[in-house]
Amino acid sequence: MNSVHSIPTGIELHKRRKVLELVYADDQRYELSCEYLRVHSPSAEVKGHGPGQEILQEGKINVGIDHIEPVGNYALQFVFSDGHDSGIFSWAYLYELCANQQQNWQTYLDRLSAAGAARDPDIQVVRIGN
């Protein structure tokens, strides 16, 4: 999909369900959970300052989006309910998150598991043995 087509034609935040709905050309619809967006924020707090410096986000299952701000004509900035607001989500990055949602989510779950971490902030994971 070229850059013009990666711009959503519709954006709806469903606060109660904690889901951002993006509609693209030809009525392609994607629903991204606020948790998914939060743990994949393009900010330095999440991505680090280079490859291999990513910081695993734990305990974000209850995070919502309080507010959405447009950034020029090229991106959105989300204000998450946990106070995180430094990631700028370009249209291209949002589309990539949509197109690769299943793979991205599984990779995140695998990273949590390997780290002995949890999506729920009220759950402590204790690993015994190897």
The domain total for the chain is 1
Question: The domain spanning residue 88 has which CATH number?
Answer: 3.30.2020.30
Report the C-alpha gap between 104 and 98 in whole angstroms. Answer: 9
The pLDDT assigned to 4 comes to 62
Q: What is the dihedral of CA 15, 41, 33, 106, to 10 degrees?
A: -170
The per-residue pLDDT string of the chain (130 residues; one tens digit each, 9 = 90 and over) reads 455 668 999 999 999 999 999 999 988 999 999 999 999 999 999 998 888 899 999 999 999 999 999 999 999 999 999 999 999 999 999 999 999 999 999 999 999 999 999 999 888 776 666 5
Report the C-alpha gap between 35 and 129 in whole angstroms. Answer: 30
Report the C-alpha gap between 7 and 74 in whole angstroms. Answer: 8
Residue 2 lies in a domain: no
Residue 125 lies in a domain: no
The pLDDT assigned to 5 comes to 67
